[in-house]
C-alpha cells in the first residue's frame, strides 16, 4: 500500500519532530489505533483505511507493507525482501473464509454495547454472544443483518450476523437465554450472535 509518507509513524512527522517510523509491527497491535485515530492528523488521508486493510490481510496470514509511493524503488525493494516502509506481521492462524468474509463487510446496520464479561469471553474464548451480556442496542436491523459489538468506551471489538431484529433484541437485553421464549412468545436461538457468525476485530 503506497502513500505520501515513508510508512506508518508514531505520530504525524509533519507536525512532530520526534515522530519515528514504525519499521515492523503486528497488524493487531492495539497501540496502532491511537496513532491513526480518526481525530488525529495521521487519521486523515487514508492511513486508517490502510491499517484496516493490513488487519484484513492478516486474517488470511498475509503480510502487508505501507511504503512511500513517491519513491520509485519502494515496490522493487519490497519484492526483494528489503526493509522498506512499515511491515505488518501476524502471529494469528489464518481464519476460515467465512470469518474473513464477515470481517470485510463494511456496513453494519446496528450496534450492541457489551458489558465487560461479554467482551472478555468473546475476545479470549471465542464464545457466542448471549443476551445477558448486552447493555444497550441502537440502529434499525433485521435478523441476519450485520451489527457492531462495542465495549463501554465505544471501541469496536467484534461484529457479526444477529439472530434477532432490533425490537426483539431490545426486549432481550441483559436477560438469560432461558427467558427468550417467555419474553418473545416464541422459541428462538439462545444466542444473539452465534460464534460461527461472529468475528473479533481487535
Number of H helices, E strands in the chain: 7, 9
DSSP bridge partners of 9: 21
Q: Phi first, then psi: give them for residue 77, nearest 5 degrees.
A: -65, -45
> Vertex 31, ends 21 and 29: CA angle to 5°?
90
- What per-residue confidence (pLDDT) applies to 113? 97
- What per-residue confidence (pLDDT) applies to 40? 46
Give 71-119 as a DSSP string.
STTHHHHHHTT---SEEEE--SPPPPHHHHHHHH----SEEEEEPHHHH
pTM above 0.75, yes or no: no
Which residues, other chains included, contact 97 with Cβ-Cβ below 8 Å and sequence gap of 6+?
none
Give 141-159 as a DSSP string.
--TT-EEEEE-TT--EEEE
The answer to whether domain 2-94 has CATH 3.40.1160.10 is: yes
Rg for the chain, CA atoms, rounded: 20
Q: Where in the chain is the domain with CATH 2.30.130.10?
A: 100-200
Residues in the chain with pLDDT < 70? 37-45, 94-106, 202
Q: Where in the chain is the domain with CATH 3.40.1160.10?
A: 2-94
Per-residue model confidence as pLDDT tens digits over 80-132? 888 899 999 988 776 666 666 666 666 889 999 999 999 999 988 889 999 99
What top-level class would CATH report for the domain 100-200?
mainly beta
Amino acid at each position: 500500500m503506497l502513500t505520501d509518507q515513508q510508512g506508518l509513524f508514531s505520530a504525524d512527522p509533519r507536525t512532530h519532530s520526534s515522530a519515528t517510523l514504525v519499521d515492523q509491527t503486528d497488524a493487531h497491535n492495539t497501540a496502532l489505533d491511537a496513532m491513526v485515530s480518526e481525530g488525529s492528523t495521521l487519521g486523515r488521508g487514508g492511513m486508517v483505511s490502510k491499517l484496516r486493510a493490513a488487519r484484513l490481510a492478516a486474517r488470511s496470514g498475509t503480510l502487508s507493507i505501507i511504503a512511500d509511493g513517491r519513491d520509485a524503488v519502494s515496490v522493487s525493494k519490497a519484492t526483494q525482501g528489503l526493509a522498506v516502509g512499515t511491515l505488518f506481521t501476524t502471529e494469528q492462524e489464518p481464519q476460515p473464509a467465512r470469518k474473513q468474509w464477515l470481517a470485510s463487510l463494511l456496513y453494519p446496520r446496528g450496534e450492541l454495547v457489551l458489558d465487560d464479561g461479554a467482551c472478555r469471553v468473546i475476545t479470549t474464548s471465542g464464545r457466542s454472544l448471549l443476551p445477558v451480556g448486552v447493555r444497550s442496542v441502537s440502529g434499525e436491523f433485521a435478523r441476519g443483518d450485520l451489527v457492531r459489538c462495542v465495549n463501554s468506551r465505544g471501541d469496536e471489538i467484534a461484529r457479526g450476523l444477529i439472530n434477532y431484529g432490533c425490537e426483539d433484541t431490545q426486549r432481550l437485553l441483559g436477560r438469560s437465554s432461558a427467558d427468550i421464549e417467555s419474553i418473545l412468545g416464541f422459541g428462538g436461538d439462545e444466542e444473539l450472535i452465534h460464534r460461527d457468525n461472529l468475528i473479533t476485530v481487535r
